Amino acid sequence: MTIRSFEATKPEIKKGAYVDPQAVVIGDVILGEDSSVWPLSSIRGDVNTIQIGERTNIQDNSTLHATHDSDYHPGGIKTIIGNDVTVGHQVILHACTIGNRCLIGMGSIIMDEAVIADDVIIGAGSLVTQKSKLESGCLYIGRPARRLRALSDEEKSYIQYSALNYVRLKDRYMQDNA
């Protein structure tokens, strides 16, 4: 696995977390217990903190970054992802906050200062624009992303299933490479 320090700050990889050998995790990154980072994903904590919760999966070709400290953004903007989140293939997360139990569909982009509440699904290919605030329990789709409707109980249950399925899958990878 490619886990690299940046300016003496090394990523913190918690118990049971998995980083694929073809992924890269750099600098000020915290990867929560039982979380996973899949091939060709880049998590670059060189200008600010990237915090990933427990049982969260960052799927193939995803890019996570943050915003640096400047006159425009004093202190910069961290990227914070909650627990039990599925980040689909080829997603870009930049200086945003994602709550617990969310599913970010493949190819979506979440921009600076966007805040996604708990229990949200972002449809594939959606664009969540800068400073957007998305309410809990809803499905959002489009470019820019708009609220389509409330989530069903089955959809909410699926978000949790997806997160736990990736915990099982990363366990298989870790066992296979032990």
CATH code at position 77:
2.160.10.10
Strands, sheet with 138-141, edge to edge from the N-terminal-most edge strand: 18-19, 36-37, 57-58, 86-87, 103-104, 121-122, 138-141, 146-150
46: Cα separation from own chain's centroid:
17
What are the backbone angles phi and psi of residue 79, rounded to the nearest 5°? Answer: -110, 120
Q: What is the pLDDT of residues 120-144, one digit of tens each?
A: 999 999 999 999 999 999 999 999 9
The pLDDT, as a whole number, for residue 125 is 98
Number of domains in the chain: 1
Residue 134 is part of which domain span? 2-176
The pLDDT, as a whole number, for residue 1 is 55
What's the count of helices (H) and strands (E) in the chain, helices before strands?
A: 1, 20
Q: What is the pLDDT of residues 79-108, one digit of tens each?
A: 999 999 999 999 999 999 999 999 999 999
Q: What is the pLDDT of residues 22-68, one digit of tens each?
A: 999 999 999 999 999 999 999 999 999 999 999 999 999 999 999 99
The pLDDT, as a whole number, for residue 177 is 77
Q: Structure pTM? A: 0.96
Higher pLDDT, 65 or 1: 65
